Structure 1
């Protein structure tokens, strides 16, 4: 019996993963995103089409861990510095979007679909949320994630992710489930929530941080992963034991570690598990879609999907213009966020468990989300000429292909040195930057710097990157990600790519990519200062040279080990090694 169950599990896993892999690759190729691929794959192999895999409910228990891990990662993103910088967009633009879209869509559902007020809110509020899993990759692939437009879209998505917890609470408060009614009263749940959050914060400060510090000093990557998963699951289990949202526990766990030095490592360690389990979650949702109920009311699904897209677009355009966005940017933002999101499936399941909506209604509105997600890439494509801002900004020129051998992206203090040295050898360069003041100052000195975001493929192509031999990214910060370098290399394979890396972590991430050279921005100046300091102490030049050679050799070996391991904590012992120098001892 046990052998048969194990065989069935392996068979189901083989079919689900195989179908997911095939459909995601196909949908990625079509520009439709991975989430939609998983949903369609689950529907195809599920009980309503081919019937190859069944018992979706039992798989949902494991799959929901993906949502838990996703909220943990969302919590990790809430670095106080970034929150403060984006506070107006997150808590102003984001709050208005969720409330206004949620109320408007709920009203449409109540009036035109004849649902009760609680059911309309249980369906309409989740539909106010957009698909983070679909929108962020679209922003990243277009090179707009770190632009002002991209940061506004990210701020809204971040607030939407934060609003999951209040929405779960609202649905629980409206519950008609007798089992829920037998639970603790609402005021006691609030007390439990506050105490649990306070306990998790205290545990993070006094237990988790010393734990991660000790594991980090040991250099044991496997234990770091183990501890990260333990943190997420323990927080979720505590909330479940108190009758609260497991997602809230994972979210608080992420927040309490957001400003710790281990945030990046935790995110990198948890992300593979999150991606796999999220994929399984969407596969399971696809299996649970009642295609028979959908087939009985196709016009309703199409009409509601169109109403959802039109309502969200109109509301977001209005809010965007109220926040002093130009109409083209506001329209682009509205269309980009017009679809329903993956958390809608989670909240519909909660609403069905609370007896607010029937399971068939959850399937119908799940199909509405799926259809709305499928329209986004097409809407963004066919409206491009109407919604995109002209490349010219404040009457500065956008780049043009002028036959230059090198395209330099970023003309600050770093890019100026690179560009001027190339020009001494009569190597023609095209210069791109987004700093208006710097462009004007450079013009006073006779340098022609074009305005634009040089991480965008379309703008690079406009600048002549298809004919250039060199593309040099001299931008400050972490704007040039491995994904950007991969995309640029794929689009312009004839060009050698040189990248200015912000720090050692950036260097490790970029080293295995297609860049010809990745340079740490302050390494040489730091070495020069150290040499000057030793000279000031009266140390002989030969000993200074030997110290530099030792440092560079040790640093090179550390980098080699870190790149091979893909872990910044690797080769920690080399940092502390004391190499003798100064005498021939």
Structure 2
């Protein structure tokens, strides 16, 4: 059994990473830079070539890869298969062109600087790949992932992830081409690995299509929230590990898992559960990249390294701008997309060591190329941020940005609670064609709502992370239709504190709940039974012989009196024995809105006892109230 000292030995590196994150990122955000740059610089400072606070940066890097895995899973959750089909031209057309053109240009530059053809090819491919984690983080910070240039950049990144498998498979062939022989062995191995990869993908698709939704429904019915989190991590990491075992990338496996769950009713809950892990581990990944920069090499060759870094970024930007324009992007889109894709990718740290092991590139060239790739990831976000600042100062920036804005497919209303009240409300919205996102944690309600055509997801509406994942920041108003008064008040508090621009329309459980909601300044509240009871009363009057106009007029009078009394009760202006004071809710007892024409009469002995007891209590409360007055 491990001793307390051994357990404690894990704490210093954990505390070091946390301290670096909470210090570095806010500092860089305050000076207007990306959080990615803050993580990278923090990694440089705590790494072996900074203050050497981390003894084994390789261990941190292996754990940090999970951050990229979770990032790709969440990106997959945001997409649908139909969207991927619509992006096929950008994925396979623009993606292929970007990789081939950039690899050829950067590899040609390597040849000019004395690299062997095989080494130049590997370096060109490694630098042509783009940093998925950096690019997606920058797009997320800008809020541009849904724009045309953001979608096009993502298509390129997706093709690059797909191509890594083929690149790794081609490396042995490239090595054997230099040494002769082994072609037959390579071909058989390539066919075998391709078959394994296809079989694994088919298995994941089948399980995801037919097994995951029933699996999550079963877990949701158990009511154990922590089990849902564990299941989400199990699905993501399990799929990633399976893909890695058959030669695909872990990130590709996680992305595939996300795609398969994109249509799931549990999508937003999964996203909310994964998000905290994703954020911290992705930050750890960026710090591990910073720690990988060879400080000694940078110090001795800094003019050449920084010159090569600037040259690689500018060359890549120029080529990608031309390709984006060729595929129909406007100039502004092309430049911003190219800046996002300029840094070298995470797979450079995989391809270059593999190439070194195969003898395609020598040790010194590998060290130089790894440092060059890391520096592009360090400088790329700064360049992208600088570009944003330049474009923001352009007089015509707003006009040029207009074509980037696509019609939002986000819902206008977020409805929490799809019970009997929410179902009737959504009928009205459905009739008007209003787009709605519905959140409910009842599996049966989710199943019954599937026929309405709304986007409805499993989740707990009292959780801030679930509300964020459901897009509450982008809706016009939130309708709280749950029958739990305390939970409804909690949701109102969260919305008012975190999303001031979102209007709150709330179903009140009873009169007391309605007053509490009024005290919280909701935009609209309605007791769940009031209007239905008034409509029932109107129909009753008509059945008793009143004309429809007279019955409607009488009902309106009662409605107005009820609202007036509710306002007075909310202000604490009615000493009606209810014990109600503003801010100190008590029980509001039913009181007649019209003076009774005669006292109540009991028709049997049991009723007389009950009414007599009630009258004695009312008289006692009235006496206490009179005694409490200053002038009594």
TM-score normalised over the length of structure 2: 0.59
**Residue number in structure 2 paired with 1:116:** 116
**Residue number in structure 2 paired with 1:287:** 291
**Residue number in structure 2 paired with 1:59:** 60
Q: Does 1:311 align with 2:315?
A: yes
Give the direction of change, closer, same or farther, for the CA distance of 1:539–1:129 in structure 2 (3 Å limit).
farther
- Per the TM alignment, residue 125 of structure 1 is displaced from its structure 2 partner at its CA by 2.8
The match for 1:302 among 306, 312, 316 is: 306
Contact 2:324/2:334 (CA < 8 Å) preserved in 1?
yes
Contact 1:42/1:285 (CA < 8 Å) preserved in 2?
yes
* The structure with more radius of gyration: 2
Contact 1:165/1:247 (CA < 8 Å) preserved in 2?
no
The match for 2:263 among 239, 259, 263 is: 259
The root-mean-square deviation of aligned C-alpha atoms, in Å, is 4.6
- Per the TM alignment, residue 352 of structure 1 is displaced from its structure 2 partner at its CA by 5.1
Q: How does 1:20-59 map to 2 (within 5 A)?
A: 20-59=21-60
CA distance in 2, matches of 1:308, 1:371: 11
Contact 1:101/1:312 (CA < 8 Å) preserved in 2?
yes
Task: Give the SS at the match of 1:185.
Answer: helix
CA distance in 1, matches of 2:162, 2:110: 23
CA distance in 2, matches of 1:79, 1:541: 54
Contact 1:122/1:348 (CA < 8 Å) preserved in 2?
yes
CA distance in 2, matches of 1:354, 1:298: 28
**Residue number in structure 2 paired with 1:391:** 399
CA distance in 2, matches of 1:87, 1:38: 34
The match for 2:389 among 378, 381, 389 is: 381
Structure 1 residues 375-384 or 219-228, which shifts more? 375-384
CA distance in 2, matches of 1:519, 1:218: 31
Contact 1:102/1:124 (CA < 8 Å) preserved in 2?
yes
Contact 2:37/2:381 (CA < 8 Å) preserved in 1?
yes
Q: Does 1:518 align with 2:522?
A: no
**Residue number in structure 2 paired with 1:464:** none
**Residue number in structure 2 paired with 1:160:** 157
- Per the TM alignment, residue 540 of structure 1 is displaced from its structure 2 partner at its CA by 5.7
**Residue number in structure 1 paired with 2:379:** 371
**Residue number in structure 2 paired with 1:170:** 167
Query: Any idea what the Cα deviations from partners look like across 1:116-169, whole Å, max 9, x if unmatched?
Result: 3443343333433444555555555556554xxx33223322431342132243
Query: Any idea what the Cα deviations from partners look like across 1:239-265, whole Å, max 9, x if unmatched?
Result: 344455433433332222222222222
Query: Any idea what the Cα deviations from partners look like across 1:434-488, whole Å, max 9, x if unmatched?
Result: xxxxxxxxxxxxxxxxxxxxxxxxxxxxxxxxxxxxxxxxxxx9xxxx99x99xx
Q: How many residues align?
A: 445
- Per the TM alignment, residue 229 of structure 1 is displaced from its structure 2 partner at its CA by 0.7
CA distance in 2, matches of 1:330, 1:203: 39
Q: Does 1:327 align with 2:331?
A: yes
TM-score normalised over the length of structure 1: 0.64
Give the direction of change, closer, same or farther, for the CA distance of 1:194–1:134 in structure 2 (3 Å limit).
closer
Task: Give the SS at the match of 1:340.
Answer: coil
Task: Give the SS at the match of 2:10.
Answer: helix
CA distance in 2, matches of 1:353, 1:56: 21
Give the direction of change, closer, same or farther, for the CA distance of 1:233–1:133 in structure 2 (3 Å limit).
closer
Q: How does 1:491-570 map to 2 (within 5 A)?
A: 500-501=476-477, 512-515=497-500, 517-519=502-504
Structure 1 residues 384-393 or 361-370, which shifts more? 384-393
CA distance in 2, matches of 1:301, 1:354: 25
**Residue number in structure 1 paired with 2:102:** 101
CA distance in 2, matches of 1:387, 1:322: 26
Give the direction of change, closer, same or farther, for the CA distance of 1:116–1:81 in structure 2 (3 Å limit).
same
Q: Does 1:360 align with 2:367?
A: yes
Q: Tell me, which stretches of 5 or more residues in structure 1 are unaligned? A: 396-408, 416-476, 487-496, 550-585
